[in-house]
Amino acid sequence: MYLFKKVNDLQQHLNKIRKNGGEVGFVPTMGALHQGHLSLIQQSVEANDCTVCSIFVNPTQFNDNADLEKYPRTVAKDMAMLTSAGNNVLFLPDVSEVYPPGLNTELKLDFGDLANVMEGYFRPGHFDGMAQVVKRLLDIVQPHRLYMGQKDFQQLAIVRNMLTQLEMPIDLVMCAIIREEDGLAMSSRNVRLDSSLREKALLLSQTLQEGRLKMPSKTPAEIQDWALKELTIPSFKPEYFEIVNAITLQPVKKFSDAEYVVACTAVWVGEIRLIDNLIYKEE
Ligand code: AMP
């Protein structure tokens, strides 16, 4: 696996690949890799001549400094995992390489209501920072395909919207959520859960699943109310449990209101904020 820390070195390498007709797949991450990340790498490796994974803990998308500081960093282990997954190139830039002084990387896009709900509501500024770094990384890597996880459903919707607004000809591939054996969605933040919270954390996926079983007899609002009560246990603080149109991300009143419906939740488990989602309806 090649390791590049500098934009120029990475671009020289990728230019050669593209010149020879090679296609590039890109998997942006913040590191502390797990099987969820590796599933994105594997899908890219299968479909592209060269897979680039970036590891960059992007300061502009953290609205909480403590969260940024405590974000797990495990580069040596990440490199071993990437190598065994068949990844071709790791891009590991410093902050000054992504945001060089003098380069205006600011991105002024209006994501409308997509960015006002759920994560956008509870993490003000998060999606502006996320879109800024994804745009900057896409400009650097110029991939044919971009791989992102369904785990961050709203992030994916916003990146899809950004690619459309900017007319960037990149295929966005949504990859399924990889879960632990008990159903907990894999996340870099899970390592920060102590054993008792780790055990309780499976309540997120359980509630999403049980909520879906209630669909024939309950309205989305009734399921939401029920779910928020289920998730209100000691050490837990649910922020939202929303059942939304999976395209517009706006709440649905009836399940028949949309063809594609997803339930999304964010819960503080102790001091760790976890998110998860489950498709409720897809036609
Ligand atoms: P992150 O390092 O958390 O920014 O995630 C990098 C990419 O991996 C994003 O596109 C995530 O949606 C995706 N991802 C994170 N967790 C999972 C998971 N459990 N299953 C599948 N993809 C995931």
Instruction: Give the closest residue (by CA) to ligand 1 atom 5.
Output: 29
Give the Å distance between the CA of 41 and the centre of ligand 1. Answer: 11
Does 50 score more than 90 pLDDT? yes
**Mean pLDDT, the chain, whole residue set:** 97
Tell me, using a 6 A CB cutoff, whether residue 148 lines ligand 1.
Answer: yes
Mutation choice for ligand 1 from 38, 91, 151, 180, CB with most ligand atoms inside 8 A: 151
Give the phi and the psi of residue 249 in degrees, each rounded to 5: 65, 15
Predicted confidence band of residue 176 (pLDDT cuts 50, 70, 90): very high
Question: Looking at residue 251, what DSSP letter applies?
Answer: B
Give the Å distance between the CA of 131 and the centre of ligand 1. Answer: 15
Q: Which atom of ligand 1 is found nearest the CA of 152?
A: 12
Instruction: Give the closest residue (by CA) to ligand 1 atom 6.
Output: 29
Does 75 score more than 90 pLDDT? yes
Residues 130-173 have pLDDT tens digits of 999 999 999 999 999 999 999 999 999 999 999 999 999 999 99
Instruction: List Cβ neighbours of 121 (8 Å cut-off, separation of 6 or more).
Output: 240
How far apart, in whole angstroms, are the C-alpha atoms of residue 258 and residue 106? 35
Residues 205-229 have pLDDT tens digits of 999 999 999 999 999 999 999 999 9
DSSP string, 57-99: --GGG-S-HHHHHHS---HHHHHHHHHHTT--EEE---HHHHS
Tell me, using a 6 A CB cutoff, whether residue 276 lines ligand 1.
Answer: no
Contact predicate 267/277, CB 8 Å: no
User: Nearest Cα to 133, choosing from 58, 190, 78?
Assistant: 58
Residue 64 confidence (pLDDT): 86
Burial 26-48 (b: 16+ CB within 10 A, else e): bbbbbbbbbebbbbbbbbbbeeb
Q: The whole model's pTM is what?
A: 0.97
Contact predicate 26/20, CB 8 Å: no
Predicted confidence band of residue 63 (pLDDT cuts 50, 70, 90): confident
Does 190 score more than 90 pLDDT? yes
Please list the residue range(s) of the chain that carry CATH number 3.30.1300.10: 190-281
**Is 147 in a helix, a strand, or coil?**
strand
CA distances from 222 to 40, 250, 265, 283 (A): 35, 16, 15, 23
Give the Å distance between the CA of 15 and the centre of ligand 1. Answer: 27
Tell me the percentage of the chain whose pLDDT exceeds 90.
Answer: 96
Give the phi and the psi of residue 275 in degrees, each rounded to 5: -125, 155
Q: Which atom of ligand 1 is found nearest the CA of 151?
A: 12
Is 37 a residue of the active site?
Answer: yes
Instruction: List Cβ neighbours of 85 (8 Å cut-off, separation of 6 or more).
Output: 38, 41, 42, 45
Q: Identify the CATH number of the domain defined by range 190-281.
A: 3.30.1300.10
User: Which residues are registered as beta bridge partners of 278?
Assistant: 263
Give the Å distance between the CA of 53 and the centre of ligand 1. Answer: 12
CA distances from 101 to 97, 98, 105, 176, 232 (A): 9, 10, 10, 37, 45
Please list the residue range(s) of the chain that carry CATH number 3.40.50.620: 2-175
For residue 197, the number of C-alpha atoms closer than 13 Å in the C-beta half-sphere is 18
Specify the CATH architecture of the domain 2-175: 3-Layer(aba) Sandwich (3.40)
